[in-house]
Copies of this chain bind each other. A is one copy, B any other.
């Protein structure tokens, strides 16, 4: 049975979905093959192995964020307020619909101390994310306060994701977003 050419990105997508659903360790190459419609052996034409595939997934999400989210900070036409609202809106879209965000939280925690290369990649992602948020805050607040706020915001979102996962309740994230926005508004009004 000849098969269509397989886009490696298709495999990455499938892998992302199953990793999220079952966790990294609980997911077998057979599961991934199954999801893609390929057979186990065929995966090895595209990726060196499970770790390699995992790295591609992390990388893919990171790249997507770089392209779609972290660019918000550079939107010339957006006010700071608009940027923050855009970031929040994107975050909600991601966590509720795409789940790439959960991946970076859940799978990161699961694999953090398992493979050092994963750790580095997760850190790079979060550094970029923090940097993006900080850059926006820095339009209004002094450098070190912006830095602080960025760390705090991401941390708050991460906590909300954990609770959301645990209790299956999206409100945790909604409320976190709201708090972040309100804090920005009240602080920036003071600053002005």
Residues of A at the B interface (CB closer than 8 Å) are 21-26, 105-106, 108-114, 119, 122-123, 126, 151-152, 154-160, 162-163, 165-167, 172, 175-176, 179
Give this chain's copy count.
4
Separation in Å of the A92 CB from the closest CB of chain B?
A: 16
A114 near B26 with CB under 8 A, answer: yes
A110 near B110 with CB under 8 A, answer: yes
Residues of the B chain whose Cβ atoms lie less than 8 Å from the Cβ of A119? 166
Of A105, A155, A158, A165, most buried by chain B (CB within 10 Å of CB) is A155
Separation in Å of the A173 CB from the closest CB of chain B?
A: 9
Please tell me which one of the listed residues B24, B112, B122, B166 contacts residue A108 in the complex, with CB atoms under 8 A apart.
Answer: B166
Please tell me which one of the listed residues B106, B123, B176 contacts residue A167 in the complex, with CB atoms under 8 A apart.
Answer: B123
Question: Within the assembled complex, what's the spacing in Å between the Cα atoms of A112 and B164?
Answer: 12
Residues of the B chain whose Cβ atoms lie less than 8 Å from the Cβ of A106? 109-110, 112
A151 near B165 with CB under 8 A, answer: no
Of A22, A105, A110, A152, most buried by chain B (CB within 10 Å of CB) is A110
